């Protein structure tokens, strides 16, 4: 028994419709009801290591337990092309929380595409705290942090908890042309580390500032 979801079935249905209207093509609520299922795009997180992604009743979130560098503990089968994305732009959203045990705190950026040509570690859903660091060992609180990335080949926007914090020319790996999104460590020292994650989303367009805030309010 996984425990109780924070959403009612009615509220989740309304959120699902609103997200789909905004161009959401993948939403893993990562809660007790949905488990490891994407309730918009019908994908699933498949476990490679039995310990990789597991439910934590105490936190009401899924715990990711990382293996060695670039060794996936779980993955998602995908097959998008660039034509599935409006103007070849996308938006990703993810929430993360540092582990209660300081000795196992690692990176919160664990979703990676399996492209062969590495761009920024193939990260598709990097997650930061208010100080813009991905390393949860350096996070100063136990809050749930929401990171939104609006990406294109011309640059990126990074939002923390709905507020724009970075707007520059750096790029992340695009989400099409790969066969999997792997859940894996991308730094050597991140191996054997853990992090709590929830509400992993991907949109096939660039959300506006107002839309980013809307999505953050839906999953707060």
Is there a domain that residue 3 lies in?
Answer: no
pLDDT of residue 9: 61
Q: What is the CATH number of the domain that holds 195?
A: 2.60.120.200
Is there a domain that residue 187 lies in?
Answer: yes
Cβ atoms of 53 and 63 closer than 8 Å: yes
Cβ atoms of 128 and 147 closer than 8 Å: yes
pLDDT of residue 191: 84
pLDDT of residue 1: 29
Q: How many domains does the chain have?
A: 1
pLDDT of residue 47: 98
Is there a domain that residue 4 lies in?
Answer: no
Is there a domain that residue 1 lies in?
Answer: no
Provide the domain limits for residue 159.
9-218
Is there a domain that residue 205 lies in?
Answer: yes
What pTM did the predictor assign? 0.93
Q: 90 by DSSP, 3-state: which?
A: strand
Please choose, from the candidates 160, 159, 156, the residue with its C-alpha nearest in 3D space to the C-alpha of residue 170. Answer: 156
Going residue by residue through the chain, which has 220 residues, state the pLDDT in tens, using 9 for 90 and above: 233 456 666 689 999 999 999 999 999 999 999 999 999 999 999 999 999 999 999 888 999 999 888 899 999 999 999 999 999 999 999 999 999 999 999 999 999 999 988 777 799 999 999 999 999 999 999 999 999 999 999 999 999 999 999 999 999 999 999 999 999 988 877 788 999 999 999 999 999 999 999 999 999 8
pLDDT of residue 68: 86
Is there a domain that residue 19 lies in?
Answer: yes
Is there a domain that residue 2 lies in?
Answer: no
Give exposure, 169-203, as e/b (b: 16+ Cβ within 10 Å): eeebbbbbebebbbbbbbbeebeebbbbbbbbbbb
Strand partners, 63: 54, 196
pLDDT of residue 31: 95
């Amino acid at each position: 028994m996984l425990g109780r979801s924070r959403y009612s079935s009615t509220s989740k249905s309304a959120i699902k419709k609103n997200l789909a209207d905004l161009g959401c093509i993948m939403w893993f609520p990562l809660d007790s009801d949905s488990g490891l299922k994407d309730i918009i795009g019908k994908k699933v997180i498949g476990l490679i290591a039995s310990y990789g992604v597991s439910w934590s009743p105490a936190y009401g979130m899924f715990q990711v337990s990382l293996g060695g560098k670039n060794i996936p503990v779980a993955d998602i089968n995908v097959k998008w092309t660039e034509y599935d994305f409006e103007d070849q732009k996308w938006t990703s959203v993810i929430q993360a929380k540092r582990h209660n045990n300081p000795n196992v705190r690692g990176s919160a950026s664990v979703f990676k595409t399996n492209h062969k040509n590495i761009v920024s570690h193939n990260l598709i859903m990097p997650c930061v705290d208010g100080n813009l660091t991905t390393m949860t060992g350096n996070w100063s609180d136990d809050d749930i942090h929401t990171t939104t990335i609006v990406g294109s080949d011309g640059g990126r926007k990074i939002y923390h908890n709905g507020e724009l914090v970075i707007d520059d020319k750096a790029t992340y790996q695009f989400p099409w042309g790969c066969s999997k999104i792997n859940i894996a460590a991308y730094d050597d020292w991140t191996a054997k580390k853990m992090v709590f994650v929830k509400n992993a989303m991907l949109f096939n367009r660039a959300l506006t500032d107002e839309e980013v805030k809307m999505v953050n309010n839906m999953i707060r």
